Amino acid sequence: MSTTLTNKIEITKATATKINEVDFDNLSFGAVFTDHLFECDFKNGAWQKPVIKPYAPFLLDPSAKVFHYGQAIFEGMKAYKDEADSIWLFRPDENFKRFNTSAVRMAMPEIPEDVFMGGLNELLKIDAKWVQKGNGSSMYIRPFMIATGPGVVANPSDEYKFMILLSPAQAYYAGEVKVIVAEHYSRAANGGIGAAKAAGNYAGQFYPTNLANKEGFQQIIWTDDATHTKLEEAGTMNVFFRINDTLLTAPVSERILDGITRKSLLAMAEKEGLKTDVRSVLVSELVEAAKDGSLKEIFGAGTAAVISPIKGFSYKNEYYELPKSEDSYAALLKEKLTSLQNKLSEDTFGWTVKV
């Protein structure tokens, strides 16, 4: 990991820590933040001096373009502490590359590697006490960039703010998840920004998800915008289907996010000798498999939950309950991946990076 920026960061330490006020056994995901944050502004065509400072609100001009034209992107990452008190990141190079892919698509400046990686590395060192040990404990990391330039002319901003926030997290349990297969609403469209981690992608999901919630379902399995016949993502996660003994998932595209957990699970599944098939999965195929009993599992995959099993799905007002699996691929892969992330097993893939 590049740390060449370390000596260039202006560091202001918090006068007191909040850590003693935190109940680490009862954390709400993404609600508690550490003592410090990382910040770097883009002005006059260049990235300015980066800073680490106490976590606090900041002021923006009411005409800042993030409010009016939605130039905002982010990433989701995690850090883990092993039994020797060393802190490890999981595939941070993939997050860095995807962040800049999102930046390009949203007409925003790319972040230099030494700013992203060096800033993250130093921030984790300063707030190292906040990273808790134990399988299930982690530090959720939220790098993001927003357009801060003033003015309501509809063009890209000429000023931006890049920040990194740290939020301690426990194992994520969503309970039993039931989903609706989308028949009208879409997460993304061809030619759109579905492959970018743009803030607006998530805002657009809230309304149809609220409708699903009112019907007793927790999430939506999104379908393609043109025909609504192809299964794409589940809520804010990539989605996997196990039909008989084959694990299927849709290929990434300009509609589907290139999930880091997704690609990691595929690699682990293949190493475990599980049959995988990356291809378009049809709604009709899912319904048929549910009816004839060949559909064994559905689960979402993403940074926050790692894997979120799905209990059943509804399509055209008919509900299909999945059977209880004796040899759950979801359980196997989650155990393998979280064990690797927490340094409880050997990382034969070379995915973990020491801070």
- The answer, yes or no, to whether residue 118 has pLDDT greater than 80, is yes
pLDDT range class, residue 326, cuts 50, 70, 90: confident
- The answer, yes or no, to whether residue 121 has pLDDT greater than 80, is yes
Q: Average pLDDT for residues 257-282, to the nearest whole number?
A: 97
- The answer, yes or no, to whether residue 6 has pLDDT greater than 80, is no
How far apart (Å, rounded) are the C-alpha atoms in residues 173 and 352? 24
Q: What is the pLDDT of residues 172-181, one digit of tens each?
A: 766 789 999 9
Q: Average pLDDT for residues 195-205, to the nearest whole number?
A: 94
Q: Average pLDDT for residues 185-206, to the nearest whole number?
A: 94
How far apart (Å, rounded) are the C-alpha atoms in residues 41 and 35? 20
- The answer, yes or no, to whether residue 2 has pLDDT greater than 90, is no
How far apart (Å, rounded) are the C-alpha atoms in residues 233 and 303? 14
Q: DSSP of 250-304, one letter per residue?
A: PPP-SSS---HHHHHHHHHHHHTT-EEEES-EEHHHHHHHHHHT-EEEEEEEETT
Backbone angles phi, psi at 278, to 5 degrees: -95, 105
Q: What is the pLDDT of residues 244-254, one digit of tens each?
A: 999 999 999 99
Beta-carbon contacts of 281 under 8 Å, excluding residues fewer than 6 positions away, are: 230, 231, 241, 248, 249, 250
Q: Average pLDDT for residues 296-300, to the nearest whole number?
A: 97
Q: DSSP of 290-350, one letter per residue?
A: HHHT-EEEEEEEETTTEEEEEEEEEETTEEEEPPPPTT-HHHHHHHHHHHHHTTSS--TT-
pLDDT of residue 3: 45
pLDDT of residue 159: 98
Q: Average pLDDT for residues 11-28, to the nearest whole number?
A: 95
